[in-house]
Amino acid sequence: MAQTLENLNDESLMELIQENDHRAFSILVERRAEMFYAAAYRMVINKQDAEDIVQEAFLKIWNKPLMWKKDKKAKFTTWFYKIVMNMCVDKLRKLANENKAAVDLDIVSGDLNQEMEMVCDEEQKLLNEAIKKLPENQLMAINLCFYEELTNKEAADVMGVNVKALESLLMRAKSKLKDILYREGILKQGDVA
């Protein structure tokens, strides 16, 4: 039976989780935790916070499995991205309200590099610093479309906006990034951005 469960799609596993199936929950967590951790990390830029967010999000669906509505026909990943992204935004707001500075990418250590296999050369650090300065909705749009490689439709669904609004957010984010990179001297006139 365990082999059969592992072959089920995410949506079928959620139906079993609604019936209190521990094994289905375990399979879903094992299958998707890394993917959602990467998305959360890119939002909050903190290993522990990202781990906590993903763990809390999975616990939320275990404790309240009826949140998932199979009749809505949403893909599990799109639906769950929305939960994780909302929790990331809440965390960022909480940090801002506590007047804590965003965690610098300078703290990225060697073991995190191994875990995430991140490219942390100087240009990437500067770009990441610029990305962190984007408003939350632009940051989320960039992360979902460029790092998580969701389609514009999927990202719009996660963010609860229409595709045109998402495209507008992406255009504004790119423009703001370009402005930040020019202002901070990272790009010079004539550089291709």
* pLDDT at res. 180: 85
Assigned domain for 113 exists? no
Q: In angstroms, how far is the first alpha carbon of the chain from the final one?
A: 53
Going by pLDDT thresholds of 50, 70 and 90, the confidence category of residue 100 is very low
CA distance 179 to 161: 25
* pLDDT average, residue stretch 169-182: 89
Shared domain check, 77 and 5: yes
Count the neighbouring beta carbons within 10 Å of the beta carbon of residue 59: 12
More confident residue, 185 or 166: 166
Tell me the pLDDT tens digit for each residue of 10-63. Answer: 999 999 999 999 999 999 999 999 999 999 998 988 899 999 999 999 999 999
Shared domain check, 137 and 64: no
The burial class, CB within 10 Å (0-12 / 13-18 / 19+), for 188 is exposed
Count the neighbouring beta carbons within 10 Å of the beta carbon of residue 36: 22
Is 80 exceeded by the pLDDT of residue 121?
no
Shared domain check, 95 and 3: yes
Shared domain check, 160 and 77: no
Is 70 exceeded by the pLDDT of residue 115?
no
Assigned domain for 88 exists? yes
* pLDDT average, residue stretch 178-182: 85
Shared domain check, 134 and 88: no
H helical segments located in the chain: 2-6, 10-17, 22-44, 47-63, 76-97, 110-116, 122-132, 136-142, 152-159, 163-183
- Domain containing 32 equals 1-103
Shared domain check, 156 and 84: no
The answer to whether 177 and 131 have CB atoms below 8 angstroms apart is: yes
pTM of the model: 0.68
| C-alpha triplet 47, 79, 104: angle, nearest 5° | 20
Shared domain check, 137 and 96: no
Tell me the pLDDT tens digit for each residue of 67-77. Answer: 988 877 788 99
Shared domain check, 148 and 66: no
* pLDDT at res. 104: 41
